[in-house]
Amino acid sequence: MNARKVYETPELFSGILQFVERRQFWRVLALERSSFEAAARELWRNVNYQFAKKVINEHTYRSQVYKNSIRYVTLTDSDPPVDKNEASQIDMIEYLIRNLPLLIRAEKRSKLRTGKRKYDWIVDKLSEGQYKVDLLCDLPLTENLSLRPRSVADQQYPGLAVSRTFRAVLEAPKDLRNPVQSLWGVPGLDDGIRTSRFGLNKIDSVITYISETFPNLYHLELPFSINGPDHNFIPVTQIRVVQSLTTNRLNNLERVVINISSTQFMSGRDVRYPFPLEDVAANLAALGANETCIYELRNNSPTFIGMDMSRRLNKEVHDIQKIQR
């Protein structure tokens, strides 16, 4: 009789199941209905997305037991959504919450993320019907620079307390034959732009706009050309520095990558460009990132701009920040 009471007490039976090897769970599942549900709560407590999706789409007694057993769900890069924009990510989060009534935590891990954050999002249950969401979003930066009718952070979702950080990457085109992409509505940015590369003489305007518009960035990657519209080198005297520290300090920023390009007209072994390292560093320092942020300079051009430039840029930015603090 006492053994039967232990068997019929969910808390005690679950404790016993902790000592059962997972490969032996099928024996417990086969005992009777009550043992099946108890074993299912342990066996399917933590599952991957593919299993969760399968039981959500089925409508049987077993699938209902499985759904009520799931507490934790893990997604990976191969799971939807493919798009890393906010709308797609929130749709997936709401789908899981809606269909898994006892969900405690879900996360989408990603090997594609840089820095400390190796996930696209994490959702944790706070209380009944209330969840906290840590969301990382990829921003289509060309689109946001050209047309931004509302703030990304304006969107609210019932039952979700969303904390956002952003990864902004503006990729340069593979060649210079792409259509013209004007940056409408951004003062000082839309003149002289022939492709989605910025002229290096626009770095102060770009840095100011980024800081004021995207305060929660954790990764920023921008392409700059050292050539003007006439294909000649941009004079270093045209490189301006942000006049003062920006209002928003980008405390979440972990890495800034500057990609340098030049046209083939200026290539050759003897072609050199006196890269204005100090001015570029001063502009990056104005972002107000923490001292742990890493600054990287990638020379994707055939033009020689200096030796060991990435290390030197990183050091120069941190030296300027020390003085400013």
Q: What is the pLDDT of residues 55-98, one digit of tens each?
A: 999 989 888 988 999 999 999 999 998 887 888 899 999 999 99
The candidate with the shortest Cα–Cα distance to 211, out of 171, 239, 242, is: 242
Span between the terminal Cα atoms of the chain, in Å: 73
Are residues 108 and 180 both part of a single domain?
A: no
Which amino acid is residue 323, in one-letter code? I
Question: Cβ(299)–Cβ(260) under 8 Å?
Answer: yes
Phi, psi of 115 (to 5 degrees): 80, -155
Confidence class for position 160, pLDDT limits 50, 70, 90? very high
| Average of per-residue pLDDT across 203-232 | 84
Are residues 320 and 258 both part of a single domain?
A: yes
User: Residue 149 corresponds to which tokens in the numbers above?
Assistant: 């009718």
Are residues 217 and 305 both part of a single domain?
A: yes
pLDDT digits (tens, 9 = 90+) for 4-42: 666 566 666 666 666 666 565 555 555 555 666 766 777
How far apart CA 44 and CA 52 sit, in angstroms, is 9
- Strand, helix or coil for residue 233: strand
| Average of per-residue pLDDT across 255-263 | 87
Please give the tally of structural domains in the chain: 2
Q: Indicate whether 206 belongs to any domain.
A: yes
How far apart CA 120 and CA 49 sit, in angstroms, is 14
Would you tell me how many other CB atoms lie within 10 Å of the CB of residue 283? 23
Q: Indicate whether 35 belongs to any domain.
A: no
Instruction: List, in sequence order, every residue forming a beta bridge with 296; answer none if it has no partner.
Output: 257
Which amino acid is residue 132, in one-letter code? K
Q: Indicate whether 32 belongs to any domain.
A: no
Which residues, 6 or more positions from 106, have their beta carbon under 8 angstroms from its beta carbon?
A: 72, 73, 74, 75, 93, 96, 122, 123
Are residues 178 and 284 both part of a single domain?
A: yes
Q: Indicate whether 70 belongs to any domain.
A: yes
Distances (CA, A) of 13 to 19, 20, 44, 279: 11, 11, 16, 68
pTM of the model: 0.60
**Of the candidates 98, 114, 130, which is a domain's last residue?**
130
Are residues 208 and 309 both part of a single domain?
A: yes
Q: Indicate whether 163 belongs to any domain.
A: no
| Average of per-residue pLDDT across 204-231 | 83
Q: Which value, to the nearest 10 degrees, does the dihedral of the CA atoms of residues 57, 63, 67, 69 take?
A: -160
What is the predicted pLDDT for the residue at 106?
A: 97
Q: Indicate whether 147 belongs to any domain.
A: no
Q: Indicate whether 135 belongs to any domain.
A: no
Distances (CA, A) of 252 to 116, 215, 289: 11, 8, 7
How far apart CA 222 and CA 179 sit, in angstroms, is 19
Domain around 120 = 44-130
Are residues 302 and 187 both part of a single domain?
A: yes
Confidence class for position 219, pLDDT limits 50, 70, 90? confident
What is the predicted pLDDT for the residue at 251?
A: 85
Are residues 117 and 179 both part of a single domain?
A: no
